[in-house]
Amino acid sequence: MSSAENRVRFNILDVLIVLIIIALIIGVFFRNNIVELLSPDKSVEITYTFELKEVDSTRLSYLTQNTPLASRDSGGSMGRIVSVTPSVSVITEYAVDGSIMHLERSGYYDVTVRAVARGYKSDSGVFLDGEVLIAPGMKQYIITATAVYEAIILSIN
Amino acid sequence: MGRIISALNDRKVFDTLNRSSASEGGYITNVSDEYNTVIATVNATAVIENGSYYVGGQPIRAGERLALRLPDFYGDALITAVKVKEG
């Protein structure tokens, strides 16, 4: 048997298999931030405010500083609460003569919440946690561990 | 979805709006003679997933609505409060 027959020879298929295995190893190693690595938009700290209408006192009590927030629809993180400012809900109604009535809703609160999250700003909008789009005027169902809220995004910094 | 450990059954209270004038108008609280409101406390074992609590695949959060089925009743319920006891 000649020595030429025993020599291990690599062809293009072997090289491809090795490259695929290396790519898989890199993918597993960076699996948690591969989207961020590939994205041209860098993650920054984003402060935003949102408003909750007619929240009862029980659900208001769940909103405390540093409470984690998430999107009910996507499950993506929406950061943590920085501050909570409640005021008694005031409803605007009209009397039969057309005059405006501002009516307080006892036991219910309109709440302005300031929150901070990691995210990035791109030409197509502001995304929290790489996936939750927020824009002023947009409605979002925001959840904590024990409650859900219908929120309107007011501002983004 | 767990077991009822207490239930408070009372007449349904609802608000209507008096629009007669801006000075005299406002919400009027009424007590229904037709419908009742039942406030039930339910004890259940939940699993935690991504920071949320689930019972039978249903997310348990104050403000969520869920379809509730008892042996002799089926209806819509609103979760008003959630207390978690770890362990």
Structure confidence by residue, pLDDT tens digits, A21-64: 998 998 888 776 666 666 656 788 999 999 999 999 999 999 99
CB neighbours of residue A9 within 10 Å: 6
Residue B85 lies in a domain: no
Q: Quick check: is B54 in a domain?
A: yes
B58-71 average pLDDT score: 90
Are the Cβ atoms of B51 and A68 closer than 8 angstroms? yes
Instruction: Name the residue of chain A whose CA is nearest to B15's CA.
Output: A105
Interface test with A, best of B39, B61, B84 (most A CBs within 10 A): B61
pLDDT > 70 in chain A, percent: 88
Structural domain that includes position A104: 40-156
**What rounded mean pLDDT belongs to chain B?**
90
Tokens of B38: 């039942």
Lowest mean pLDDT among A11-15, A50-54, B40-44: A11-15
Q: Determine the structural domain holding residue B38 and report its residue range.
A: 3-78
Q: Which residue has the higher pLDDT, A4 or A137?
A: A137
Give how many domains chain B has, as a whole number.
Answer: 1
Give residue B73's pLDDT. 86
In a domain, A131, yes or no: yes
Retrieve residue A131's tokens.
Answer: 């996936």
CB A77 within 8 A of CB A128: yes
Is position B87 within any domain?
no
Closest CA to A51 of A112, A99, A126, A94: A112
Q: How far is the CA of A70 from the CAs of A58, A62, A79, A132, B61, in angstroms?
A: 19, 14, 7, 9, 13
Instruction: Kindly state the tokens that stand for A117.
Output: 């999250």
Is the confidence metric ipTM above 0.85 for this complex? Answer: no
pLDDT, position A38: 64
Q: Residue A56 falls within a domain, yes or no?
A: yes
Note whether residue A91 is domain-resident.
yes
